């Protein structure tokens, strides 16, 4: 028997009102200051023409019954998202950044102190001093600090995956479900939430005049994942094919046993590479290095590479006044997950009314560590090093349960 399934869905998101509300409140509070409102300070602006996020989801699969309770499913799952808001979740687009065309003047000229025409008028922030770097006066809105712009013109995301699933219905004491997923996920969410498993994202675009350059693999992109759940009731005792008799001794001692296992094998997440930001005087809030052409990944087991998981020689520091050519994330992945949880159950029934179950469970049964992602800032003395672990060591649990 063969079955085919196709699914298509579209989702339209909602405009986030939080930033708008904050902006309205700020304007109301400062209205008495007139044209002096906000001078020397940072501001946030929401694009009034922003559109709601738009998500299209697709799926298609083929199912085949293999016999003996087994079924095979092969499918594709994907989605495409557009009009995703830039400027929320910790990062924004600073529209008061130096136009990159001025970088041709050279850092010496841009950093040269000049008289500040706002001195005595603006009394807060960097622009309040008697002299400022020449670059500050070349900003689009030189009387202000950063101006965060929240808009949706360029951010998008795409997810594609192939899925293979094998399933066995309960039969002969065995149940099984195993799913393998191969996937790729791309987005421009430079301010995505990081964790100890995927490294800290840059938080801001390297060049706010070229946000499209931030589009790369997502920091939550893990190409491979195999998840399996299996349960097997041992064929011993009354009604089973081994030692099938009415002996209470056999039933209480050898019958009613089952073994269970749940496993997850998953590759690590794409790693974001950064360096200390020397372009901050020009309004650029993140900086990436240059690639030297060497392989950024080292070889060997994770345990043998805890001090050099990444190859520092694959990168060079981008000088001030330039943009590094390394993409937001690398096609190099952090440590993956290898975990088995195993359990043994023993069930006994007394006089058809009373039941007892003994459980012995081992979490992380093979005591396999799940390591942190390595340090991904090349300016750090610990670049490429893994210094932590994210899971617990093996845990054993014993329990007895009575029902009546």
Predicted local distance difference test score (pLDDT) of residue 28? 47
CB atoms within 10 A of CB 404: 8
Predicted local distance difference test score (pLDDT) of residue 22? 47
Residue 315 and residue 295: Cα distance in Å, rounded?
9
* Chunked mean pLDDT (size 10), the chain, 404 residues: 55 43 48 62 79 90 92 96 69 86 96 92 84 93 85 82 96 93 90 68 84 89 96 82 70 83 95 93 93 94 94 97 94 94 89 84 96 93 93 93 85
Q: Is 332 within 8 Å of 297 (Cβ atoms)?
A: yes
Beta strand 43-46 with 147-150 is: parallel
Whose CA is closest to 199, among 324, 369, 377? Answer: 377
Which residues are 180's β-sheet partners? 164, 226
State the DSSP H helix or E strand holding residue 251, giving kind and residue range, or none if neither: helix 248-254
Residue 22 and residue 42: Cα distance in Å, rounded?
13
Model pTM?
Answer: 0.81
Residue 155 and residue 378: Cα distance in Å, rounded?
27
State the DSSP H helix or E strand holding residue 18, giving kind and residue range, or none if neither: helix 18-30
- SS3 assignment, position 176: strand
State the DSSP H helix or E strand holding residue 114, giving kind and residue range, or none if neither: strand 113-115
- SS3 assignment, position 23: helix
Burial readout 77-113 (b: 16 or more C-beta within 10 A, e: otherwise): bbbebebbbbbeeebbbbbbbbebebbeeebeebeee
Predicted local distance difference test score (pLDDT) of residue 9? 53
Predicted local distance difference test score (pLDDT) of residue 120? 85
């Amino acid at each position: 028997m063969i079955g085919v399934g196709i699914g298509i869905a579209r989702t339209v998101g909602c405009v986030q009102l939080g930033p708008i509300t904050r902006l309205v409140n700020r304007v109301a509070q400062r209205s008495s200051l007139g044209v002096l409102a906000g001078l020397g300070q940072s501001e946030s602006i929401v694009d009034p023409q922003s559109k709601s996020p738009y998500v299209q989801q697709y799926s298609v699969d083929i199912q085949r019954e293999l016999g003996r309770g087994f079924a095979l499913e092969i499918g594709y799952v994907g989605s495409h998202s557009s009009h995703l808001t830039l400027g929320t979740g910790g990062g924004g687009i600073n529209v008061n950044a130096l136009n990159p065309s001025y970088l041709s003047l050279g850092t010496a000229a841009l950093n040269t102190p000049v008289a500040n025409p706002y001195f005595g008028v603006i009394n807060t922030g960097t622009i309040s001093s008697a002299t400022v770097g020449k670059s500050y006066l070349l900003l689009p809105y030189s009387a202000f600090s950063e101006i965060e712009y929240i808009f949706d013109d360029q951010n998008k995301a795409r997810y594609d995956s192939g899925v293979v699933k094998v399933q066995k219905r309960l039969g002969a004491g065995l149940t099984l479900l195993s799913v393998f997923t191969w996937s790729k996920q791309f987005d421009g969410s430079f301010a995505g939430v990081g964790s100890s498993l995927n490294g800290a994202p840059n938080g801001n675009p390297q060049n706010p005049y070229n946000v499209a350059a931030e589009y790369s693999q997502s920091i939550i992109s893990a190409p491979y994942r195999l998840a399996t759940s299996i349960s097997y009731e041992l064929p011993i005792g009354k009604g089973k094919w081994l030692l099938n008799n009415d002996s209470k001794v056999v039933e209480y001692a050898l019958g009613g046993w089952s073994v269970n296992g749940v496993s997850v094998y998953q590759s690590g997440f794409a790693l974001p590479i950064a360096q200390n930001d020397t372009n901050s005087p020009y309004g650029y809030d993140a900086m990436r290095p240059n690639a030297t052409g060497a392989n950024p990944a080292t070889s060997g087991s994770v345990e043998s590479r805890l001090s050099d998981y990444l190859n520092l020689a694959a990168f060079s520091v981008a000088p001030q006044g330039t943009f590094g050519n390394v993409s937001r994330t690398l096609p190099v992945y952090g440590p993956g997950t290898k975990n088995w949880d195993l359990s043994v159950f023993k069930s006994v029934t007394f006089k058809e009314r009373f039941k007892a179950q003994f459980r012995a469970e081992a979490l992380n049964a093979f005591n396999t560590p799940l390591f942190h992602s390595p340090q991904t800032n090349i300016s750090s003395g610990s670049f490429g090093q893994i210094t932590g672990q994210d899971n617990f060591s093996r845990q054993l649990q014993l329990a007895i349960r009575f029902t009546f």
